[in-house]
Structure 1
Amino acid sequence: MIRPFLLALVFAQPALAQVQGRDDPRGLIPPAQPFAAGRCAPEAMQLTLDAAVNIALCRNPRTAVAWAAAQAGAAQAGAARGALLPQVDAGIGPTLNRSQSFAGTGFVDSGGQFIGGGASTITNTTTSARLGLSWLILDGGGRAGRIAAADANAAALRAQFDDATLAVVLEVVSAWNLLVANRAIEQANIANLEFARQSRDLAAARRDAGVATSADRLQGETQAAQAELTLTQTRGNVASAAARLAVAMGLPPATVLALADLPPLAEAGALRGDAEALIAEAERLRPDLRAARLQLEAAEANVAVARSLGRPSVALQASNSLSALDTTIDRNLSSAGITLSIPLFSGWNTRYQIAQARAQQAQQAASLEQVRQTAGLAVYQGYVGFENALASLVPARVLVTSATESAALAQGRYRAGTGTYADLLNAQNALASARQQLVQAEFNTRTAQAELARAVGDMDGYRRATR
């Protein structure tokens, strides 16, 4: 009964492989990146921040690297479960045998008789086929520990993928805010240049009328040239920031992006609340903390694996083999048995492996606490930074309003001849500085809000708030 089954299994192996045809028979490996089904290319219409984030999650190499690592971790978890099932192997192959004797030495014929003298050559082919089965029934908890460690490691890699997505979102948000800020500075510098040219033309007209000196005109020319130079430099910063955003989205740096306007800060939601509540929220949401906890679980499981090395194991073995001389089957050998293995002495190797596993467990516990403290500090610093940034918005807006009125008043006084050009220059410089400070305050607020959301682990909440 064994003989035909053996031959059928041996020769059917290629067909079985074709029928199965899958690398994941357990269904543990996630096949595609979660964001691959989204929109991966910018559209012709104006691009929103939310759409830019979706494109980045789809195209940024960082998410692809983290997802491949998560897939590898899931495959490792599937491989660890292989120890629960029997291991079956088969082999088949011919062997060519050739025996040659020379004159005067004699030889032994196939019947075992010695034939003296003469020369002779005997050639035959031995073919063998074997089917073997081995099954580890008991191993002192080693298999369970390896499976638990692999599962925890796979879950940790998936959490690291989630952390990578948060980093990509923050990268895109930061690049977006930087580009928006540079474009706002560009608009402010265009207004500054227009005001400087008006003041220059006013000084030239008063000089031509004989009511102002050439020094006023020269100072006007200098201020206008300085404003034009500043605008040129700002446009270079805009191009650089646009390239940074494109690369963060996984696009070529020269990609032209038409950005939709962000909602005003007064209407944008924010993560508010006391610092302790946000730190508690980070404990629940941050994927790097979740990954650190899972890595500690894997280290604890590895302690059980190390302990199993010093415990008895029970294995079942069975095999059947056929051999044939030329075309005639001459032997069928079958065997089955159960083996109890008891480790007696390994040169204290097992003890040191247990000690190593315990030390790695302690290391992971300390790493978890380190990640927790770092996360708490990041949340607190983000909270303080965001509150300070919000507090700076009101005076920055007041400063622009008062500086605009002051500059207009100084220009009018100079036109009427009741003010000096030095007063006009001071007011003009104060207005340019106020516009710069307002743009910086708005950029700081948006950036601080995004960094606080990243520290808490709630970038989805940030995205909803800025739509």
Structure 2
Amino acid sequence: MKYLHILLFLVVSKGLSAQSGNSLTLRDCIEYALQNNITIRQSEAAVENSDNVLNQSKAQRLPAITGFLSGNGNTGRNVDPFTNGIVTQTIGTNNMGIGLNMPVFQGNRLKNAVERDKLSLEASLTDVQTQKNNIGLQVAVAYLNVLSAEDLIEVAQKQLEVTRLQYDRTQKLVEGGALPETNLYDLDAQKANDELSLINAENSRESAFLALKRTMNAPLEMMFSVVKSEVPDPEVLQPATSSAAVYQTALGFLPEIKAGRIRMNAADRNIAIARSLGYPTVSLSTNWGTAYSSVARRAAGMTSSSRQIPISAEFQGQTIPLVINWPESSYTMENIPYFNQLGNNQNLSFGMSVNIPIFNRFNVKYQTQSAEIQKKQVDLQNKATEIQVKQNIDQAYIDMLNARKKYAATLTQAQALNKAFIAAEKRYNAGAGTFVDYNLAKTNLDRANTNLIIAKYDYIFRTKVLDFYQNKPLEF
């Protein structure tokens, strides 16, 4: 019987405005409960988590960019990373770079994941609404109980007023000698009973207020009153034609039915994701990097000189000495500055990779079967929800018919007992009837009036439940 608070709000508070002071309408009570209910906050936190998961899925389609920076020191026999030569000295190195990897094709896995998470977010939002409706229903029922308790107080007050008037009338007759004084004793007892009934009715109202505060999660010391409203006359309400017609209408708009359909679509996406594990994947990558070495050197300057080299030559049997001036150059080496090395040692690469699954230990098969089983579970849950809705509507329809018959019978009984009481009162006042007859007639009428109020609210409640399931505007 979800979402009933909407109905009761329209029934109870239509045409009313919030009153000043501490008088609260049903809307005020529901809004207070929604703001202070922990279950709703938990559901809203679940929505935030679903939204976060959706954003993560969307981000998976973006390129992944990574950077690296490293510094190392080595001593002893090492390889010079600048010349690849073997050196025996301390070497300091520094490497840095950045890489980018972007998925191109993942078997539509990323697309289906985004669509699935969108559906999950929508379902979470529906769950929040369900929680709000449940809380609203509880508040509305508690609010309705307060209104009913206040009507019962009015009945008890009227009963006490009738007894007091009768007491005053009888007292005058006793003083005039028309009736014995014992009649006053009987009326004293009746007045005490009526006062007790009034106290019990007031206590019931306090209990109803306590239940309302608990439902609103309001502190006990919070003092307020509810806005009194004129609920519609049950005789002018038009009941639903049939429970089957109500059910067909309810299937088209109830949030729990909508949530089930959303989760079925999400289950289809999960199946598609599982199957995509068997498809090839394509990705593009690019990398840039550079390096520095503390032993990297370059020529800083050149000095030219010559060296005499004695040689000899034979000519016509004679050895002739000669001197050759051999030119030589010498270089001055210096360390290459840090940022110069970073600029000179840059490298850039591009790549594309294709991964083709050949045998993944039947992972695709079992993942797909698991997703199909989950879809079957969702489908069964949806059918169970529809059955529950159908049963709720059938029960509400039967309850409405029973409440209608009970109200009609109670109304007839109250009208008949009212006539009987008037007759008994006249006889008692004329001295032709006994107090026992008068008291019995009054007791029966008081009980009938109380039952009439209970039957009235019960019938209105049952009728508006069916109106809600038919998505009807509640106008009277």
Q: Give the TM-score taking structure 1 as reference length.
A: 0.75
Query: What's the counterpart of residue 4 of structure 2?
Result: none
Deviation at 1:70, TM superposition (A): 3.1
**Alpha-carbon spacing, 1:109–1:324, altered in 2? closer, same or farther (3 Å):** closer
**Pairwise CA distance, 1:161:** 2.8
2:319 corresponds in structure 1 to none
Q: 1:252 to 1:346 in 2, by over 3 A?
A: same
Change beyond 3 A, Cα 1:138–1:192: same
Residue type of the partner of 1:334? L
Q: Among 305, 312, 318, which residue is 2:280 paired with?
A: 312
Q: How does 1:115-194 map to 2 (within 5 A)?
A: 124=92, 126-194=93-161
| Matches for 1:28-107 after TM superposition, within 5 Å | 44=20, 47-50=24-27, 52-53=29-30, 56=33, 60-92=37-69, 95=71, 97=73, 99=75
Aligned mates of 2:232, 2:154 — CA distance in 1? 17
The change in CA–CA distance for 1:397 and 1:174 in structure 2 (over 3 A counts) is: same
User: Equivalences for 1:224-373 in 2 at 5 Å?
Assistant: 224-249=191-216, 251-253=218-220, 254-266=222-234, 272-325=240-293, 327-328=338-339, 329-330=341-342, 331-373=345-387
Q: Of Structure 1 and Structure 2, which has the larger fraction of its residues in strand?
A: 2
Specify the SS of the correspondent of 2:66: strand
* CA gap 1:390/1:325 in 2 versus in 1, 3 angstroms: farther
Structure 1 pair 320–52 and aligned structure 2 pair: CA distance change class (3 A): same
Looking at structure 2, the residues matched to 267 and 368 of structure 1 have their Cα atoms a distance apart, in angstroms, of 37
Looking at structure 2, the residues matched to 418 and 341 of structure 1 have their Cα atoms a distance apart, in angstroms, of: 107
2 CA distance for matches of 1:109 and 1:61? Answer: 66
State the partner residue of 2:408.
394
What one-letter code is carried by the residue in structure 1 that aligns with 2:362? Answer: W
Aligned to 1:420: 434
Q: Give the partner amino acid of 1:132.
A: G
Counterpart residue identity of residue 181, structure 1: S
State whether residues 63 and 101 of structure 2, in contact with CA within 8 Å, keep that contact through their aligned partners in structure 1: yes
Deviations 1:217-262 (A, max 9, x none): 5554444333322322221221232243345456444230341313
Instruction: In structure 2, give the amino acid aligned to 1:376.
Output: K
In the alignment, the residues of structure 2 paired with residue 131 and residue 420 of structure 1 have an alpha-carbon distance, to the nearest angstrom, of: 107
The 1:251–1:427 alpha-carbon spacing in structure 2 relative to 1, beyond 3 Å, is: same
Contact kept? 2:142, 2:208, Cα under 8 Å:
yes
Q: Which residue in 2 is equivalent to 1:465?
A: 475
Partner-residue secondary structure (3-state), 2:154: helix
In 2, the alpha carbon distance for the partners of 1:193 and 1:169 equals 36
1:385 paired with 2:394, answer no
Distance 1:338 1:207 in 2: 113
Match of 2:449 among 432, 435, 440: 435
User: Aligned to 1:343, what secondary structure does the other structure show?
Assistant: coil
| Secondary structure at 1:346 match in 2 | coil
Distance 1:149 1:271 in 2: 42
Change (3 A) 1:336 1:218: farther
User: Compared with structure 1, are the counterparts of its residues 91 and 336 closer, same or farther at alpha carbon in structure 2 (3 Å cutoff)?
Assistant: same
- Would the alpha carbon gap of residues 362 and 79 (structure 1) be closer, same or farther in structure 2, given more than 3 Å must change? same
- Secondary structure in structure 2 of the residue aligned to 1:347: coil
Count of residue correspondences? 407
Question: What SS does structure 2 have at the residue aligned with 1:318?
Answer: strand
Distance in 1 (CA, whole Å) between partners of 2:68 and 2:396 is: 64
**Aligned counterparts of 2:199 and 2:96: Cα–Cα separation in 1:** 81
Q: Which amino acid aligns with 2:60?
A: A
- Cα 1:341–1:113 shift into 2, 3 Å: closer
**In 2, Cα distance between the equivalents of 1:449 and 1:237?**
25
Over residues 268-302 of structure 1, what are the superposed CA-to-partner deviations in whole Å (9 max), with x where a residue is unaligned?
Answer: 76663322221111100100010011111111211
CA drift of 1:163 comes to 2.6
CA distance in 2, matches of 1:207, 1:132: 110
Using the alignment, how far apart are the partners of 2:136 and 2:236 within structure 1? 18
User: Distance in 1 between the 2:237 and 2:38 partners?
Assistant: 30
Q: Which amino acid aligns with 1:74?
A: D
* Bigger shift: residues 200-209 or 338-347: 200-209
**Amino-acid identity (%):** 20
Q: Distance in 2 between matches of 1:213 and 1:177?
A: 44
Range that drifts further, 322-331 or 226-235: 322-331
How far did residue 369 of structure 1 move?
A: 0.9
| 284 and 113 in structure 1: CA distance in 2 versus 1, 3 angstrom threshold | closer
Alignment gaps of 5+ in structure 1: 1-41, 100-105, 116-121
Instruction: Quote the offset at 1:67 in angstroms.
Output: 3.8
Shift of 1:436: 1.0
Structure of greater Rg: 2
Q: Scaled by the length of structure 2, what TM-score is found?
A: 0.74
Distance in 1 between the 2:139 and 2:233 partners?
18
Letter aligned with residue 88 of structure 1: I
Q: Distance in 1 between matches of 2:45 and 2:79?
A: 63
Mapped to 2, the partners of 1:159 and 1:271 lie a distance apart of 29
Structure 2 CA distance for partners of 1:343 and 1:270, relative to 1, 3 Å: farther
The change in CA–CA distance for 1:281 and 1:58 in structure 2 (over 3 A counts) is farther
Indicate conservation of the 8 Å contact 1:170/1:450, yes or no.
no
In structure 2, relative to structure 1, the CA distance for the partners of 1:218 and 1:132 (3 Å cut) is: farther
Change (3 A) 1:185 1:399: same
Amino acid at match of 1:421: F
Query: Which amino acid in the other structure matches residue 130 of structure 1?
Result: G
Counterparts in 2 of 1:224 and 1:90: CA distance versus 1, 3 Å: farther
Q: Bigger CA drift: 73-82 or 146-155?
A: 73-82
Kept in 2, the 8 Å contact 1:177–1:446? The answer is: no
Worse-matched range after superposition: 220-229 or 264-273:
264-273
The verdict on how the C-alpha distance between 1:148 and 1:255 changes in structure 2, with shifts beyond 3 A counting, is: same
